[in-house]
Structure 1
Amino acid sequence: MKQFLLIIFPLIALCSCNSDQSGQNQKRLNQSPALIQQFKPVINGVWVKKDYIKKVKKSKSPLAAVEKGKGITAMYIDTAKLKGSSISIPVIWNNHEGKNLTLKFEPGRNTTTIVLGDDELSYKIKNNDTTLIIYNYNPRTNETNSAQYIRAADNKQMNNPSYGMTYMINEAILSGTYEGKDANGKPIKATFYADGKVTGLDRLNTYLVQNDMVLNPDRSHDEIIFNPDSKEQKSYSFIIHKKTLNLYDDSERIQSNKPSYTLKKKRGD
């Protein structure tokens, strides 16, 4: 009789645990419709890491902001792709790697967050500006870290986290009209657009500011790639000092401070 009791008690305990877990899962799912209604109108769009963009804008240098470009740096939430109570969202990790995370409209550790991969997502609205917040909980240290994200500018092509980050970097440090000269003294009037187009620089029509430092961690200067992914691709190192943009096509020009292009942004741009 004692042996029978020893066998049956663990079975009862196991059934009880499974029942409790099932009940908790059902409770979380029951909250999904309310969480969808709350979050869905707010979180749609491309979002970029606030501290990173702020540092890029202040320093005029993605290289100087590399320490701020860790973890999730950009993400695209398309609420039209909601299936059941979750969405698969593309994110950029460390400004280098693309991956997908599952956003679940289920409560996180408190009633103000929902589940994003191993992390949690929340938001705040101030003066009609929305900020998303990702919370990361470390069970080993019992510490919670957070990062804030701002919505990328409204643009018809803004359906890709990589493009959203590129657009925001361009807008922060380069977009505008410039006047200056090339290395031969030829007058130049060029316009850089936030969407990656450029005019006035000979046959250079598009540009990309390099912010992926994983590819070349020993880079000493910021880099801009013109006509990327084409036969006419050409790279320049660049330095922005106040409103002057200097472009260098080789290390010797940098060392001698003889830019290939010296361009000053027009006042008001």
Structure 2
Amino acid sequence: MKLIYRLILFLLIGSFTHHLSSQEDFIYENQVWVGYLTSSRVSDRISIWNDAHFVPESFLIVRTGVTYHFNYSEKVKGSSTLGFARLWLYSQNDITPTRNEYRPWGQTTASFNLNKFTITNRFRYDARFRQEIEDNVLLDSYEFNWRLRYFLMAKYPLIVNDEKNTEWYAYSFNEILFDTGRNVTNGFRLNQNRFTVGIGYKFDNLRIQLGYLNMIKNPPVDGSKVWANTAMLMVFHNFDFRNNKKQ
């Protein structure tokens, strides 16, 4: 039980941090985030990753990759993915044009069960090539920096029906993102903190999650932070193309 309490405490760090920061100057935003993520298993070890995310007036990203599945131990499942992402970065004014971003990326995950909880850890690396803008004109040059991300999620089953292969569950996660590189102030900075709570429904090879995401985003230069209240809808679709499995 002590481990569970520690886990819940860690997941609440994001929410507690937001509360402590509430007296700072913020720009407040309300937004919607929708995403569709697929994993297509082509062998016992290999699957193909594809996903797309859209936040109106903020960004659109499409991402692909190849995942290698393995086990750290009998109880801990892992995977590593290498891929490439294409982004369109939108501005909230009518002057600044849409910027392009190209992002090679990689991640490693570890998942295990703790009593009834399913715990997922993820470390992700983004190499960000973002198109430069000068006087509201897009340039042919690109700025480059790295982004490091740590993600911790806990999922708890609420209603499980083994006969129909369905499940209702609650989930919460916290993700911390850091920028680093020559183009980053002081070479290293906190980029964002993302804290989410929500509920999900699983049936067959499909999962649908609806949640509330609270993001605090630091500006790249001195200025007000952004406090984003976000309604998040995620759809996860798993396919199995191995010869001995049916889709």
TM-score (norm 1): 0.25
TM-score (norm 2): 0.27
**Structure in which a larger fraction of residues adopt strand:** 2
Larger Rg: 1
**Structure in which a larger fraction of residues adopt helix:** 1
